[in-house]
Structure formats: structure tokens, C-alpha cells
Chain A
Amino acid sequence: MAGTQSLRSPAVAPSAGVASGIGALWRVLRIIMGYPTGAIGLVLILLFALMAIFGPMLAPQSPFEVSRTAAGGVVRLSPPSWDNWLGTTNQGLDVFSQLLWGARVALTVGVISAIGSIVLGTLIGLIAGYFGGWTDEVLMRITDVAFGIPFLPTALVIISITGPSLALIILLITLFLWRTTARVIRAQVLTLKTRPFVWAAKAAGASEAKIIFVHIAPNVLPLSFLYMAIGVQGGVMLEAALSFLGFGDPHVMSWGSMLNEAFKAGAMRTAWWWVAPPGIALSLFVVSVFMVTRAYEELLNPRLREI
């Protein structure tokens, strides 16, 4: 959501011929590392990924475990200390532990919804772009409707119907993110369709499925990757926004719900150690994805590189 504005209508140069998805990804990563901002971004993302995978194991406490003093009292609203590196909340929960666990929640939501939306968006884009005609018309009108749906209000309404859960939030974000991908991929397919290698495949009697998935799909994959990165970032932000509004899953502690708890507890004025870490983590994650996607975008858009 946030990223799409600066990335509106990127002009894309397709790699000629067929390339495997994994190979393309590897090449892309190598080139991104060539840009200083891209490299920093990638390293940061890697750190966040490690945090999501191993953080909960390293966390001194579970996100809902109360810190107690030797005498059994609750360590309430303690500033950072040796026992609680980032201090505690009003209920004596360890902020550092919550931060580590929160990374897992954030990235789970981000990655799953990004993958879901990319698969959905790419498929719709491929099918609409390749077949054209009525198929295209129907799919693109659905996309138009999707573009008219405001995310936050819709999510608020649906969550107040069903009750909040992580699965639902992932689903909602997926259903919100696919639309941009679908449009961009379709536009890309429209130009690819007229390329000689597609004609050649057709002439050789390849099936339509084969043409779509073997000949065209690999060429749109780099673009899909770009939107996937943007999707992860969008997913993380949307989950945080919903949780901040109190519409998050109550059984897990995400960065957004940490901020919501602090806001509800009226601790904003005093407990900076509770407010700052999740906010900074969120911002840093978004910045790092931005750095990577911009490097990647310049890569996809050779004209930008020239200037």
C-alpha cells in the first residue's frame, strides 16, 4: 500500500527467453547486493528473518509471562534494566521478549499474505493478459471492484463480524494485496504475448498451459518478486495497523498490539521503552524493504540506471 505510490507503472525490460525462477531470484539478489542501499536493506531483512525464526527461542520470557521480583511482586513499568533489557509493561510483561515474539507474528503475516497475494495476482494477471477477450474483461472488472474497496474500513467491518484471528487477518491482507500485482502482470503479459518466442512456441504446437507457465511466467517472475517484497512490507504494516486499532488476534503479541496495549494503558506519556521498540522495529523493517525494492526497481528499469 505504502510502496505502490512511488512505484506506479514501472517500465519493465523482460529477460529474453526462459529462465528458471530460482536462478532469476539468485541473480536478482546478487545484483541488489551491488547497490549499497540494497545491501544494507538485505542485511536488515535477513536480521529480521533471523529474529522471527530464532527470536522466540532467545527471548528470556514468553510474551505473556509476568516478571516478578525476588519477593514475588510484579515488576511493573520498569525502565530498561539488567533483568528486563527493554523494561516491562504495566502488567510486568517483558518488552524485549514481546519484541522478539512480535517479529515472528509480523513476518508470518507479511510473508504468507505476500505469497498468497502474489500467487493469486500473478495467476489472474497471466490468465487475463494471455487469453484476453471475455476472460480478460471479467477478471479486470473484478480487479476494478477490488481497487474500489477501502482496506481498513472493510477489514474493520469483517473483523467485527467474525471476531479477530491471525488467519482471518492474513486472508484479508491477501485479498487486498493481489490487485496491484494482477494489473501489472497483465500489462506485462500483453507485451510479452506479441514477442517472437511466444509465436515460436505456438507454431511448435505447445499447449496454452505450457505457453503460459513455461514461456511467459518466468519472464514476469522478476516483477512478481518485486511485488512480493512490497507485499511483505504491506502485510506487516496492515497487520500492525489493525492490531493497533484493537482488531488484532488477542492470543498473539504483535508489534501493533504492543503499541495498542501501551496506548490503551495510557502509558504513552511515560513508558517510552514500551512504545519505542515496536514502533522502531516496524519502521526499520519497512525501510529495509524499501531499500531493497528501490534497488531492484532500478534494476528492472534500466532507464533509471542510465541517468
Chain B
Amino acid sequence: MTIDTTPPGLDRRTALKMAALMGGAATLGGRPVRAQDTARISFVDPAYRDFYNERENYFLRDAGWVEETLPRITWPRDGERIPEFKVLLQTSRPDWIDAWRRWVVDAEKVGIKYNVQQVSQARYLEAILSHRHGDVEVHNAVPRVERLDPSEWLVSRAYGLDRRNYGEWANRQYDAEIEAQARTTSRDERMQHVHRAQAILADDLYITQYGWGPQIIQAYNSAAWSDVVSATGFGIADFNIFHTYLRATPRTNRRRAVVGVTSVDRSINLISAANRYRAIGRMIYDRLAFLDENLNVIPWAAESWTQIDSKTWDLTLRDGMEFHDGRPVTVHDLKFTFDFLMAYDRGFFWTANSNIENVAIRDEERRVVRISFKQPYAEFETYFLILNVIFPKHVWERLASEQGLKEGEDARRLVVEPRDQIGSGPFRFGRYRRDTELQLIANKKHFAAPKLDEIVMVVVPSVDGLLGRMQSGQIDFMDGVWMTPSQARSLEGQRHITMAPARDINWVHGVTRAAWLPWRDYEFRRAWHHTFDRRFLVDVVWEGGGRVPAANTFLVEGHPWHNPGLPPIPAFDLDQARQILQQAGYRWASDGRLMYPAPTDEAWRQRVRGVVKPGAGYEWAGIKMIDDA
């Protein structure tokens, strides 16, 4: 019996012919998965099986995934070598390959071989989303305001039932902490769960941190501007936390700030926007709450909020707000925004708003709206309020009807022309030349009105171009651009330029394929950790602009939710790695390649079956080894 995945309306022969013609492309929905293969893959907890079987063309329903997984959960023969580890790196991240070149050489000294490939971002994303990336998933933190909630990475990278848990790690104790922290609405209680989750993650050696950084070094034209604000994790110039653009005071007559960016986002519909416009759009549309430069939640369009119970909040809208077209902001607009985002396919907002049960106007006079959720919602402040904005009802209703958007359809396809970019935020949408420039005009009536008059973003795609323009005084800020120490040095001695360092909370990590051999063996993971010279990444590749990580956690030192009591990462020590491997029963072939322990090694088999750290009280819930006996 086979599960047929060919598209309807195309008989199998034609499909095969076309597949041959195209070199077997995946576009036809992939090859069929053989039922006898998937039957061999079993899970400790059947809930995981359902989870991995849910999605068409993915995981258990992806022949490629099954094919790659089977040999790695089959007991190896006597004398079998540890396979070459596939690692995919993004072309757009040159620091990864620069570090890996060195790490590959080091690992070879203990008999570990890698196959490191550099691929485009597109290909990389496709690979990791379908868990077809190989052995180690390498990733970096991209700072965004709505990603500061502690659960962002804890859930997406390690929670057993999240598809972005790329190593298919399933540690029951960890998952329990994650579920608990999502339900509690007490910050202290949540902090405890988050700390415990970090401790388990660091202890089980599932992910590894390669470096904390790169360091944030930014420069600005201090001859023209004073009172810049440096925000943790973002620096002085970042549309995500735009306090600089609100408080910067001109030193000259020029009240226009020119901001260099490497690209301007291509969609200016906030619902379909990519990273940059998600941030810029929130300068135009007020979000409900915001963060200060130390990443504490502060009221924004919502003046205050009170919790009624674990699922319900009352939200009070700030008084006296106005949209850019002069109409007042009312609770009707707020209610409309949520109703709209729930009625239509809403992309980016989906994760935050899929949990909403109901939004009701409670007191129009005192501007109170009651929001109730389907489940207890821990991320209300740190995620929900920060992500959501207020759309003017009169504009978006018109857009939807003009463009014939029907209920349930995708609101991302709405075209929002510059003239319809009407929010209540501190900036108005000004001139817009795609790929060239974008002007934001200060809204002087705003409660946090900017001191400057306007911002002009200019697109300069190369770092050299940006630095050159900075040096010649043509731009005042470089938004979202962090310089390397050597780039910073090249601007030294320019009297109009001041360097502004900021606290960073970024990282680059690697996720092991915990469900596969040899990663299933905790001792192997421990030895593997010892093969990384993290100092090389920090000192050489990042030119010293970064930190050697102190522990395996996403919430790095400096992050408000960081757990300071975590065990350190096994340090770079190839002898130590070799010793651990030897004691764990691993052997070396004549060519120096590492071999699995002897099949009779019961201690090893025990560890492989259990996956999680032995003796720590953890339980494995995920993929089982195929037992031939």
C-alpha cells in the first residue's frame, strides 16, 4: 500500500515522465512514501507520531525524510563508521562558513567528518522547515521586538510538539515546563518555569551555543544629532526600537535625519510585510504596548490593562489619540482591528491572535475593551500587546470592499497605497520610491512626538557604500547595520562620527539531530561539544566583537529572562573529546574515522534508547530505535 502524493488530475505515468524530465523535482509533491517504511518508525509517545504525520509532504509523509531517518535509527553493524554529518549554512551569513571551515578541521582530528554546504536562504529555509537539513541546524537570532518574549526560542527550537524543533528532541520534563510557562500569567511563576526549562536544555546538551554576538557597534553623526538612545539588543538605530528617532535632537538647523538602510521592504501592507516593514509599520500604526530601551514593557496606545482572570484582560485606550487623517482613534477601531484580523487570513498576526476568543467594547466612554482568550495566555504583555496595532476602521473597511476581499480570504493580498497608510503613530508615511527611499514625517500631535521633523531612509545595498556615506556626512544613522570592529576603526578619526556600543543579546547556535544516531547518545553529544573552538568565531571571525557563550541558552546574559545558574558549555578540548568517546565505547578505524561502539555494548545501547541525559530524571518521548530483535 502506498500513500499517493501526486497532484489530482495527473496520472502516475505522466507524473513519472515529467519527474524524469525535471530530474525528479520535488514539485510534484515528492515520491510516494512506502507504508512499510513509516511503519518502522515508532514513537515513545503516540502523540508525536500524529504530530509528525499531520502535514502533507512533510516528515512521515515525506519520502525523503523517511529515507534519511531510517538508517539513523537502525542499530549499526559492528565496525560501522559514524556517517559524515551534513550541515547547511546560509550564503548570506559569511561568518558561519568562516567559523565552520576551522571547526571542520578540528573535528577531523577526533575522527568526525562533516559535509558543509552553503545554500541560498531560500533553500536553507525549505530544508530546515521540512527537517531535511541534515545533522546540525545552524541559526542566529534576528532581533525583533516581538521576539523578546522568553518562549519565542524556547518553544520554537526545543519544544517537542513544535515543527521548528529541528532535532526532533522530545524531553518530557522540558516540554512540561514549556507548557506550564505558557499558561501562567504570573511573571514570577513564569520566570521560574523559564529558568527551569533553560536548565534542562543546557543540561541535556541538545543545542549548543557557538557565540554570543556579534557585538552591536553603531555609528552616528554626532555633529548633527544628540540624545540618541541605545537599546539592549538593538543599538541606537533600529526601527524595531525607535526611541532614538523620537528623542534625537538636532544640533543644526537641519531637522531631517537621513538614515541609511541596506534595503527597504517591498510590501508596505503591514499584514504581509517582511521584517523591516513590520518594524517601520509600527512607527506609523501605534502598537498597544512597547518596550523601553531596557526591554521593559511600557504602555503605548493602550494606556493601561488589567487582568480579570487568566484568560481575560480589560484594555484602556489612551485618550486623545488621532489618526493621521484627523479622525479620532476610538475603541471601535481597536475592536475592528481584532475582528478584521480574525475574519481574514492574517499571516504574521496569526500566531498571536489565533488564541482570541472574543473582543468586546466594555465602556465606550472610558475607552475600555475586554479581550478574552481561549486559553490562559502568558504572552499577553510581552507578545500580544507588542505585536498588535490599531488599524483605522474607516480606511481598512474601504480597502477590503474596494478590492473585493471576502471573508476568510487572505488579507495579505490587499494593496495598501501610500495614501492609505494611515495610522496614529509618531510618524506619517511620506514620499515612497520603491528600492530607493522612504520618507517618514513626524506626527507632532503624537503623545511621544519626535523632536526631528522627518526621517528619510535611503537604500545603500553595500556596507562600503554605507560607511562611505557615513564618512562623508551624507547619512546620519545606519539602521539595523552593525559594524565589525575593523569597519568601526575605519571611521575613527572622523570628528563628526561617534561610535555607540550597545548591549547585545544575540547568538549563533547549532541544534543537533537528537533523534538520530549518533546524537542519541548523550556521551557523544558531550564529546562533540568539546570539539568547538568558540573563541575562533568570537576572536577571529567576529574580530573580537562578541562573547564566548557561558551556557547553552537562547536567553543570553543580559536578556531579562536569563537564568544565571546554568552549567557551563563543555570547553574546546580535543583530548577531552577523544577521552570521552573512548570511555563511551567508540573506536577509531584505521583511517582515523570514528566508529560506533560494539553492538554488544549494553551501556551504549541503553544511552541510545534513552537519548536524554542518563540519571538526570528526564524521559524521552520521541522517535524510538528500530529494534530488530
Q: Return chain A residues, CB-CB under 8 Å to B120.
A: 160, 163
* Chain A contacts with B in 64-88, Cβ cutoff 8 A: 64, 66, 74, 76-77
**Are A77 and B486 touching (Cβ within 8 A)?**
yes
The complex places the Cα of A295 from the Cα of B463 at a distance, in Å, of 43
* A161: Cβ under 8 A from any B Cβ: yes
The complex places the Cα of A272 from the Cα of B539 at a distance, in Å, of 24
The complex places the Cα of A164 from the Cα of B463 at a distance, in Å, of 23
* A268: Cβ under 8 A from any B Cβ: yes
The answer to whether residues A163 and B486 also contact, given A263-B464, A264-B94, A269-B464 and a CB cut-off of 8 A, is: no
* A44: Cβ under 8 A from any B Cβ: no
The complex places the Cα of A178 from the Cα of B292 at a distance, in Å, of 62
Q: Return chain A residues, CB-CB under 8 Å to B484.
A: 90, 265-266
Q: Chain A interface: which of B97-105, B238-246, B351-359, B382-390?
A: B97-105
Taking a contact as CB atoms closer than 8 A, the residue among A66, A265, A267 that contacts B540 in the complex is A66
The complex places the Cα of A263 from the Cα of B94 at a distance, in Å, of 12
The answer to whether residues A90 and B462 also contact, given A160-B120, A269-B468 and a CB cut-off of 8 A, is: no
Taking a contact as CB atoms closer than 8 A, the residue among A77, A91, A160, A164 that contacts B98 in the complex is A91
Interface SS of chain B: helix
**Are A246 and B543 touching (Cβ within 8 A)?**
no
Contact with A along B120-131 (1 / 0, CB 8 A): 101100000000
Taking a contact as CB atoms closer than 8 A, the residue among B97, B102, B123 that contacts A161 in the complex is B123
Contact with B along A235-264 (1 / 0, CB 8 A): 000000000001100110000000001011
The answer to whether residues A270 and B543 also contact, given A164-B118, A246-B91, A263-B462 and a CB cut-off of 8 A, is: no
Q: Return chain B residues, CB-CB under 8 Å to A270.
A: 490
Interface SS of chain A: loop
The answer to whether residues A163 and B464 also contact, given A91-B543, A269-B490 and a CB cut-off of 8 A, is: no
Q: Return chain B residues, CB-CB under 8 Å to A247.
A: 91
* Nearest CB in chain A: distance from B120 CB, A: 4
The complex places the Cα of A66 from the Cα of B462 at a distance, in Å, of 26
* Chain A contacts with B in 85-109, Cβ cutoff 8 A: 90-92
**Are A267 and B486 touching (Cβ within 8 A)?**
yes
**Are A64 and B101 touching (Cβ within 8 A)?**
yes
Taking a contact as CB atoms closer than 8 A, the residue among B91, B122, B468, B541 that contacts A91 in the complex is B541
Q: Return chain A residues, CB-CB under 8 Å to B543.
A: 74, 76, 90-91
Q: Return chain B residues, CB-CB under 8 Å to A263.
A: 462, 464
> In the complex, which residue of chain B has the Cβ closest to the Cβ of A77?
B486
Taking a contact as CB atoms closer than 8 A, the residue among A64, A246, A268 that contacts B102 in the complex is A64
Q: Return chain A residues, CB-CB under 8 Å to B462.
A: 263, 266
Size class of the contact patch on chain A: 20 to 34
> In the complex, which residue of chain A has the Cβ closest to the Cβ of B481?
A266
Taking a contact as CB atoms closer than 8 A, the residue among B89, B122, B486, B541 that contacts A160 in the complex is B122
The answer to whether residues A163 and B118 also contact, given A264-B94, A266-B487 and a CB cut-off of 8 A, is: yes
**Are A163 and B119 touching (Cβ within 8 A)?**
yes
Contact with A along B467-502 (1 / 0, CB 8 A): 110010000000000011011001000000000000
**Are B97 and A250 touching (Cβ within 8 A)?**
yes
* B117: Cβ under 8 A from any A Cβ: yes
The complex places the Cα of A225 from the Cα of B490 at a distance, in Å, of 48
Taking a contact as CB atoms closer than 8 A, the residue among B94, B117, B539 that contacts A163 in the complex is B117
Q: Return chain B residues, CB-CB under 8 Å to A64.
A: 101-102
The complex places the Cα of A92 from the Cα of B485 at a distance, in Å, of 13
**Are B464 and A92 touching (Cβ within 8 A)?**
no
Contact with B along A128-168 (1 / 0, CB 8 A): 00000000000000000000000000000000110110000
Q: Return chain A residues, CB-CB under 8 Å to B122.
A: 160
Contact with B along A53-69 (1 / 0, CB 8 A): 00000000000101000
The complex places the Cα of A20 from the Cα of B98 at a distance, in Å, of 49
> In the complex, which residue of chain A has the Cβ closest to the Cβ of B91?
A246
The complex places the Cα of A90 from the Cα of B541 at a distance, in Å, of 8
The answer to whether residues A266 and B490 also contact, given A64-B102, A246-B91 and a CB cut-off of 8 A, is: yes
Taking a contact as CB atoms closer than 8 A, the residue among B116, B467, B541 that contacts A266 in the complex is B467
Taking a contact as CB atoms closer than 8 A, the residue among B118, B123, B539, B540 that contacts A250 in the complex is B118
**Are B123 and A76 touching (Cβ within 8 A)?**
no
* Nearest CB in chain A: distance from B578 CB, A: 23
* Nearest CB in chain A: distance from B296 CB, A: 34
The complex places the Cα of A64 from the Cα of B463 at a distance, in Å, of 23
* Nearest CB in chain A: distance from B93 CB, A: 11
The complex places the Cα of A66 from the Cα of B483 at a distance, in Å, of 21
Q: Return chain B residues, CB-CB under 8 Å to A164.
A: 91, 118
Contact with A along B336-373 (1 / 0, CB 8 A): 00000000000000000000000000000000000000
The complex places the Cα of A257 from the Cα of B484 at a distance, in Å, of 19
Q: Return chain B residues, CB-CB under 8 Å to A267.
A: 464, 486, 490
Q: Return chain A residues, CB-CB under 8 Å to B486.
A: 76-77, 90, 265, 267
* Chain A contacts with B in 261-297, Cβ cutoff 8 A: 261, 263-270
> In the complex, which residue of chain B has the Cβ closest to the Cβ of A91?
B540
> In the complex, which residue of chain B has the Cβ closest to the Cβ of A156?
B120
Q: Return chain B residues, CB-CB under 8 Å to A90.
A: 484, 486, 543
* Nearest CB in chain B: distance from A72 CB, A: 10
The complex places the Cα of A76 from the Cα of B117 at a distance, in Å, of 27
> In the complex, which residue of chain B has the Cβ closest to the Cβ of A250?
B118
Q: Return chain B residues, CB-CB under 8 Å to A66.
A: 540
The complex places the Cα of A64 from the Cα of B105 at a distance, in Å, of 11
* Nearest CB in chain B: distance from A171 CB, A: 14
The complex places the Cα of A246 from the Cα of B461 at a distance, in Å, of 14
**Are B490 and A160 touching (Cβ within 8 A)?**
no
* Nearest CB in chain A: distance from B144 CB, A: 24
* Nearest CB in chain A: distance from B294 CB, A: 30
> In the complex, which residue of chain B has the Cβ closest to the Cβ of A89?
B486
Taking a contact as CB atoms closer than 8 A, the residue among A160, A246, A264 that contacts B463 in the complex is A264
The complex places the Cα of A246 from the Cα of B93 at a distance, in Å, of 11
> In the complex, which residue of chain B has the Cβ closest to the Cβ of A249?
B118
Q: Return chain A residues, CB-CB under 8 Å to B487.
A: 265-266
The complex places the Cα of A77 from the Cα of B462 at a distance, in Å, of 19
The complex places the Cα of A91 from the Cα of B486 at a distance, in Å, of 10
The complex places the Cα of A163 from the Cα of B462 at a distance, in Å, of 23
The complex places the Cα of A77 from the Cα of B485 at a distance, in Å, of 11
The complex places the Cα of A246 from the Cα of B122 at a distance, in Å, of 15
**Are B539 and A268 touching (Cβ within 8 A)?**
no
Q: Return chain B residues, CB-CB under 8 Å to A265.
A: 463, 484, 486-487
The answer to whether residues A92 and B118 also contact, given A266-B463, A266-B490, A267-B486 and a CB cut-off of 8 A, is: no
Q: Return chain A residues, CB-CB under 8 Å to B467.
A: 266, 269
Q: Return chain B residues, CB-CB under 8 Å to A246.
A: 91
Contact with A along B73-113 (1 / 0, CB 8 A): 00000000000000001010010011001100000000000
> In the complex, which residue of chain B has the Cβ closest to the Cβ of A270?
B490
Q: Return chain A residues, CB-CB under 8 Å to B490.
A: 266-267, 269-270
- With contacts A91-B98, A91-B543, A264-B94 known, what are 11 further pairs, Cβ within 8 A? A64-B102, A66-B540, A76-B486, A76-B543, A90-B486, A250-B89, A250-B97, A251-B101, A266-B464, A266-B484, A269-B467
Nearest 7 CB-CB pairings of A with B: A266-B463, A160-B120, A250-B118, A163-B119, A268-B464, A90-B486, A266-B464
10 A-B pairs with C-beta separation under 8 A: A91-B98, A160-B122, A250-B91, A250-B97, A251-B101, A263-B462, A266-B464, A266-B487, A269-B464, A269-B468
Chain A residues within 8 Å of B, Cβ to Cβ: 64, 66, 74, 76-77, 90-92, 160-161, 163-164, 246-247, 250-251, 261, 263-270
